[in-house]
Amino acid sequence: MSSERRRLWSRVALAGPVVFVCAALVMCGGALWLPKGPAQIDNVVLPIVLFPAIWAGLFFYACLDRRLGRAWGVVSALALAHAALIAAHLLQPGAFA
Amino acid sequence: MIRLSQERAKTLLAIHGWSAVFLGLLLYAVILTGVASVFATEIGDWSSPLPARVEDPFPPGTDGMIRGLAETVDPAFHEELFFFPRAGNRLYAFFHAHETGEDGTPRERGVAAEFDPSSGAMIKRVEGTGDDIEAQDDANALAHFMVDLHVRLHLPHPWGLLLTGVLGLAMLVAAVTGFVVHRHLIRELFTLRRRGDRLLTARDTHVIAGTWNLPFAFVLAFTGSYFSFGSAFGIPAMAMVAFGGDQERMIETVIGNPPATDETPAVMGDLDAMIADARERSGAQVGFVQVQHWGRADALVTMFMDYREGKLLGPNYVYGGANGGFRYTKPSLGLTDSTGSALFSLMSPLHFGNFAGVFSKAVWFALGFAGAYVSITGLLLWTTRRQAQRGWRHLAAATHAVGYGLPLGLVLAAWAYFGGRALGFDVNTAMMSTFLMTLAASCAVAWRVEALATARRGLLGATGLALIALPVLRMTSGGPGWADAFGTGLQTLVAFDIVVVLGGLFCLWTLRRVPQPATAPLAADDELDEAART
């Protein structure tokens, strides 16, 4: 496979499944760091309502960043940070009390 | 004009084209059925009217109907009650309890009944899960068929919702990239070259419809993908992270009404008085009523009001169920105003276009129709340009089969509904089998007929004739004729019949157009490519 073709498939993988998983993790993780707001619900409601915007932002960034490695780095870092946040919350005793 | 580097413009153009090629046909199906679903309420009223027009689905006496039903229902189902108007303004009430289904998703089980609000008579009573009850709901079946096709393409939960969610994201991408790749936006809003190259005219029509439609397409795509992903995956995933997987608790928390605290039996307050009070407070009509814990001291009655004139949102009022006293006004979510609740509340009116009655629905219908037109003409332009190549010829045939076969399938599903109901068949099975057979026949026509233009003429002509004959079938299968409709105040039935016939005549009128040549010049798409280069 030529390097051009490899780059194309790498970008397709990043902008497709990887960005989707990252957007899902950002949505779920958002519940843990977004302010709750006056009704105590914004941290849960806003990430669900804004999921299409989170996904679209990440998708266009992954498609348009000229440096593919950097795009992988940014998206992966965002996904891993939120995954770690979610894991830390789930492992915390009495997290859902 | 939006300035982009040549490389980025090319990338966006490629994303615009290929996202349409891969998902365009499914997207077209979702948009077209969405266009029909804008008038789902009216389709229900038209297909299953009550014997006489019902002015008020919550008349004085609603309390008696609901109370009478409650006495015959297992108290286990008193956990929650919904009542709201459905096809023909029937008053539909559903006493139910919550349980977890075999697939682990929450569901409702209980007793549902339909009333004729004019007489207070119970028309139908059904028991089972929410899905069981819906499957036996003949009055709303035609509207539900269209809506279900739009919402989840009749695929099982959650796969259908996930697919339509992905389609919504694809539409979002097409809208954003369309905005960027059409670099001369203002000029393109008004450019239609009628003389000369027919493909160029077709390309201009696609661009004009698409350009005018861009903001609306963006709104629909955003709200549509939110609705699909929100219920299929957003709520369960969020419940997993923030509520240990307890979706019920998450919904209770987000909605904001406090949970049960007092199980002491209590006589329910007068629902008629609560409805009258809510109308007086809001100046709006009641849209939907929820009662939590019927017959208990901690019962709560929440009235969700329709949109007031000039407003995008309706108020919600909460009453103490046991004494009927007004408690508080609440936003859709939570107990006080919040950004989350405001954004959540905006999603429905923006997606359904139902905030200003028939007028806003007509606008949403027209814009949605333009969206369906853009998606199908985009595919036709793409495949016409490449139809000399073997692989693309199949996509051209598929585009014709779905593009012209889907409307025919929807109209014939309506035929199956009226026919099946008159003959005593299960209307859901009749509609689904007719719809699938029509799609299969359309595919056969598109692939077997030598010239795709002939397939187009055949399918479009059949759709036109089927639409024109539909009101006749409605009347001959037990629906009221025009004289009866006028006599009983059901003039909207006649209006809908006329709209259906006009739709059929429009299909036949479009047949007068000469189809595009089989080997079309490449000018149209080349021009689009040129837009990316300049």
Q: What is the pLDDT of residue B449?
A: 82
| SS3 letters across B396-455 | HHHHHHHHHHHHHHHHHHHHHHHHHHHHCCCHHHHHHHHHHHHHHHHHHHHHHCCCHHHH
Query: How high is the ipTM of this complex?
Result: 0.92
B399: nearest Cα among B23, B15, B2: B23
- Closest Cβ–Cβ partner in B11, B235, B337 for A48: B235
Chain B CA closest to residue A40: B334
Model confidence over A32-91: pLDDT tens digits?
999 999 999 999 999 999 999 999 999 999 999 989 999 999 999 999 999 999 999 998
Q: Structural domain tally of chain B?
A: 2
pLDDT of B190 strictly over 60:
no
pLDDT of B521 strictly over 50:
no
Contact residues, chain B, for A12 at CB < 8 Å:
none
Q: What is the pLDDT of residue B522?
A: 44
Chosen domain end from B87, B112, B137: B137
Q: Considering the domain boundaries, does residue B454 fall inside one?
A: yes
Q: Structural domain tally of chain A?
A: 1
Chain B CA closest to residue A31: B242
Q: What is the pLDDT of residue B189?
A: 56
Of B394 and B200, the structure prediction assigns the larger pLDDT to B394
- Beta-carbon contacts below 8 Å between A and B: 114
> Does the CB of A61 have a partner CB in chain B at under 8 Å?
no
- Closest Cβ–Cβ partner in B173, B246, B343 for A59: B173
Chosen domain end from B88, B118, B137: B137
Q: Considering the domain boundaries, does residue A22 fall inside one?
A: yes
pLDDT of B519 strictly over 60:
no
> Does the CB of A37 have a partner CB in chain B at under 8 Å?
yes
Q: Considering the domain boundaries, does residue B210 fall inside one?
A: no
Average pLDDT over residues B22-51: 91
- Domain region containing A34: 3-91
Q: Considering the domain boundaries, does residue B161 fall inside one?
A: no
Burial of B430 (0-12, 13-18, 19+ CB in 10 A): buried
The alpha carbon of residue B379 and the mean position of all alpha carbons in its chain are separated, in whole angstroms, by: 23
Q: Which amino acid is at B241?
A: V
Q: Considering the domain boundaries, does residue A71 fall inside one?
A: yes
pLDDT of B116 strictly over 90:
yes
The alpha carbon of residue B283 and the mean position of all alpha carbons in its chain are separated, in whole angstroms, by: 27
Q: Using the beta-carbon criterion (under 8 Å), do B241 and A53 form an inter-chain contact?
A: no
Q: Considering the domain boundaries, does residue A70 fall inside one?
A: yes
**CA dihedral (B161, B40, B376, B533) positive or negative:** negative
Q: What is the pLDDT of residue B407?
A: 96
Distance CA B33, CA B173 (A): 20
Q: What is the pLDDT of residue B354?
A: 86
- Domain region containing B513: 402-518
Would you place residue B482 in the very low, low, confident or very high pLDDT band (cuts 50, 70, 90)? very high
Element containing residue A81 per DSSP (H, E): helix A68-91
Q: Considering the domain boundaries, does residue A83 fall inside one?
A: yes
Q: Considering the domain boundaries, does residue B93 fall inside one?
A: yes
Distance CA B528, CA B513 (A): 24
Q: Considering the domain boundaries, does residue B77 fall inside one?
A: yes
Q: Considering the domain boundaries, does residue A97 fall inside one?
A: no
Chain A CA closest to residue B170: A56
What is the least distance, in Å, from the CA of B332 to any CA of chain A? Answer: 11
Model confidence over B133-175: pLDDT tens digits?
998 999 999 999 999 999 999 999 889 999 999 999 988 988 8
Q: Considering the domain boundaries, does residue A50 fall inside one?
A: yes
Q: Considering the domain boundaries, does residue A27 fall inside one?
A: yes
Q: Using the beta-carbon criterion (under 8 Å), do B222 and A60 form an inter-chain contact?
A: no
Q: Considering the domain boundaries, does residue B5 fall inside one?
A: no
Model confidence over B56-105: pLDDT tens digits?
999 999 999 999 999 999 999 999 999 999 999 999 999 999 998 877 77
Contact residues, chain B, for A95 at CB < 8 Å:
244
Taking an 8 Å Cβ-Cβ cutoff, which residues of chain B contact chain A? 7-8, 11-12, 15, 168-169, 172-173, 176, 221-222, 225-226, 229-230, 233-235, 237-238, 240-244, 246, 250, 253-254, 256, 331, 333-341, 343-344, 347
Q: Considering the domain boundaries, does residue A96 fall inside one?
A: no
Q: Which residues contact A38 (CB under 8 A, 6 or more apart)?
A: B334, B336, B337, B338
What is the least distance, in Å, from the CA of B254 to any CA of chain A? Answer: 6
Cα–Cα separations (whole angstroms), residue B269 to A28, B68, B74, B296: 41, 14, 20, 11
Q: What is the pLDDT of residue B1?
A: 46
Contact residues, chain A, for B240 at CB < 8 Å:
28
Q: Are B315 and B284 in contact, with CB atoms under 8 Å apart?
A: yes
What is the least distance, in Å, from the CA of A66 to any CA of chain B? Answer: 9
Q: Using the beta-carbon criterion (under 8 Å), do B169 and A56 form an inter-chain contact?
A: yes
Instruction: Count other C-beta atoms under 10 Å from residue A17's C-beta.
Output: 10
Cα–Cα separations (whole angstroms), residue B338 to A87, B255, B290, B345: 28, 12, 22, 11
Q: What is the pLDDT of residue B4?
A: 66
Average pLDDT over residues B504-514: 87
Chosen domain end from B78, B108, B137: B137
Mean pLDDT of chain B: 87
Q: Using the beta-carbon criterion (under 8 Å), do B340 and A37 form an inter-chain contact?
A: yes
What is the least distance, in Å, from the CA of B160 to any CA of chain A? Answer: 17
Q: Which amino acid is at B206?
A: H
Would you place residue B532 in the very low, low, confident or very high pLDDT band (cuts 50, 70, 90)? very low
Distance CA B128, CA B108 (A): 9
Contact residues, chain A, for B230 at CB < 8 Å:
48-49, 51
Model confidence over B306-323: pLDDT tens digits?
877 667 778 899 999 998
Average pLDDT over residues B117-122: 95
Q: What is the pLDDT of residue B150?
A: 95
Contact residues, chain B, for A52 at CB < 8 Å:
168-169, 172, 221-222, 225-226, 229
